[in-house]
Amino acid sequence: MLNTPSPLFLTPLFHTLTMLPNTAKPPKLSSSSSHSLSVSAVPTKVDTTVKIAEIEEPKNFDFKVYMLHKAHTVNQALDATIALRDPEKIHKAMRYSLLAGGKRVRPILCIAACELVGGDQAAAIPAACATEMIHTMSLIHDDLPCMDNDDLRRGKPTNHKVFGEDVAVLAGDALLAFAFEHVAMATEGVSPTRVVRAIGELAKSIGGDGLVAGQIVDLDSEGASNVGLERLEFIHLHKTAALLEAAVVLGAIMGGGSDEEIEKLRKFARCIGLLFQVVDDILDVTKSSEELGKTAGKDLVADKVTYPKLLGIHESKEFAEKLLQEAKEQLFGFDPQKAAPLVALADYIAYRQN
C-alpha cells in the first residue's frame, strides 16, 4: 500500500523545498507488471515477492542533501535569470510566483536525467529553469477565476489576488515566452540540433497535444456524470504528466542521451507524471489546506472526477504503487549510482505529504 511514511523533515531553503521524505524505504513492489499506463490494469493486490535491491537507491546516497543542493542551484539560476527591471510591475509579478517556493521537482528531474546519461549539469540548467517557468505559468493561469478560481498557492495568496487578473495573465504569458527564449539563448555546450529538438519537446508538452489538451478536457469534465478512467487518465497524462515528461526528456537530450535512453526515460517520466496526479488526488481529500499549502478539497467542490472518486482511496493507493514500480523498471540497465536521484525522486513523488 501507499501508506504514510514515517515523519518528514521540515527544511527551509530560500523559501523552497518545503518538505522532504526521510530515508525510510518504500514497501517491496512487483516488477512483473506491464509497461502499459492503462488504468484498466489497476491491480486489486500487489505482488511483493520480487527482489527490489536493483532499483533502490544506493545506501550511500543522501536524498536530502542532493535535493537541497540541486534546489539551491535552481533557485540561484531562476533568481539571476529574471531580474527585477522595467517594466517593474510585470517582472515583480513573474518573480512573485516563480520564487515563491515549491520543491523544484521538474528542474531537478531535468538535471538528474542529464547526469544519468553522462551529461554535465550546466548543459541542463537553462532547460531546467524553463520547465519551472512553464510550470509556474500553468499554476498562475490555473488559479485564475476563469479556471479553478483559487486564492491560495504554496501557502501564499495567488498571483491574481496580489497583482490583479490582468497582470497575472500577462505574468504567465511572459514566463511562457521567456522559457523558450532562455533555452534557445542560454544553453551552452549542446549541439544546435539537440537544442532545437529540446525546444520542440517543450512546446509539444504544453500545447494542444499537452497541458492545454489536458486542461480543456478537465474543464469540460467538471460536473459530468459519464467520465470514466480512460478519460481521467487522458486528462492527467496531458495536464500533469506532459511537463514532467518534458523535463526528463529535455535533460536526457541536453546530456547527450541516445534515442533508446531518451525513450526509456520518457516512459519513466510518464509513469511518475501520472503517479504525481494520483497522489495529488489522494492528498486533496485527506489533507488540510494548511498541510497542503493550497486549498484542500477543491476538486470535490468543483465536482471534478478524481482517482479516489472513481476507484476509492484504497484502490487509488494500489494504482499509485503500480505506477511507482513501472517507473523504476525503466531505470534498469543504467548505472545505479547515477540512477539513484531518479529512483529517490520517484519515491518522493509517491510518498510526499503536500
Domain residue extents for the chain? 64-351
Q: Which residue type occupies 236?
A: H
Rounded to the nearest 10 degrees, how much is the dihedral formed by the CA atoms of 39, 44, 48, 51?
Answer: -20
Helices (H) then strands (E): counts for the chain: 16, 4
pLDDT at 51: 38
For residue 202, CA distances in Å to 167, 183, 210 come to: 24, 10, 10
- Dihedral angle sign, alpha carbons of residues 309, 144, 210, 218: positive
Rounded-to-integer distance, Cα 202 and Cα 183, Å:
10
Task: Dig out the grid coordinates for 77 from the structure.
Answer: 539560476
Residue of 56, 55, 66, 57 whose CA lies nearest to 20 = 66
- The number of beta carbons lying within 10 Å of the beta carbon of residue 256 is 17
pLDDT in tens, the chain (354 residues): 444 333 222 222 223 333 333 333 333 333 333 333 443 344 333 343 333 445 565 668 899 999 999 999 999 999 999 988 999 999 999 999 999 988 899 999 999 999 999 999 999 999 999 999 999 999 999 899 988 888 889 889 999 999 999 999 999 999 999 999 999 999 999 999 999 999 999 999 999 999 999 989 988 888 777 888 999 999 999 988 999 999 999 999 999 999 999 999 999 999 999 999 999 999 988 766 665 565 655 565 556 788 998 999 999 999 999 999 999 999 999 999 999 999 999 999 999 887
Which of 3.40.720.10, 1.10.3720.10, 1.10.600.10, 1.10.10.10 would CATH assign to domain 64-351? 1.10.600.10
Rounded to the nearest 10 degrees, how much is the dihedral formed by the CA atoms of 94, 67, 121, 237?
Answer: -70
- Dihedral angle sign, alpha carbons of residues 279, 281, 286, 292: positive
> CA 320: distance to chain centroid?
15
Task: Dig out the grid coordinates for 140 from the structure.
Answer: 498562475
Rounded-to-integer distance, Cα 106 and Cα 312, Å:
28
Task: Dig out the grid coordinates for 73 from the structure.
Answer: 542551484
Quote the pTM value: 0.81
Cβ atoms of residues 272 and 322 within 8 Å: no
SS percent in the chain: helix, strand, coil, step 5: 65, 5, 35
pLDDT at 329: 96
Counting every residue written for the chain, the total comes to: 354
Containing H/E element for 64? Answer: helix 63-81
pLDDT at 154: 84
Rounded-to-integer distance, Cα 46 and Cα 325, Å:
10
Residue of 2, 14, 199, 198 whose CA lies nearest to 104 = 14
pLDDT at 276: 92
87 upstream amide cis, omega within 30 of 0: yes
pLDDT at 223: 78
DSSP three-state, residue 265: helix
Q: 241-254 vs 229-239: helix axis angle to the nearest 10?
A: 40
Q: What is the DSSP string of 191-253?
A: -HHHHHHHHHHHHHHHSTTTHHHHHHHHHHHTT-S---HHHHHHHHHHHTHHHHHHHHHHHHH
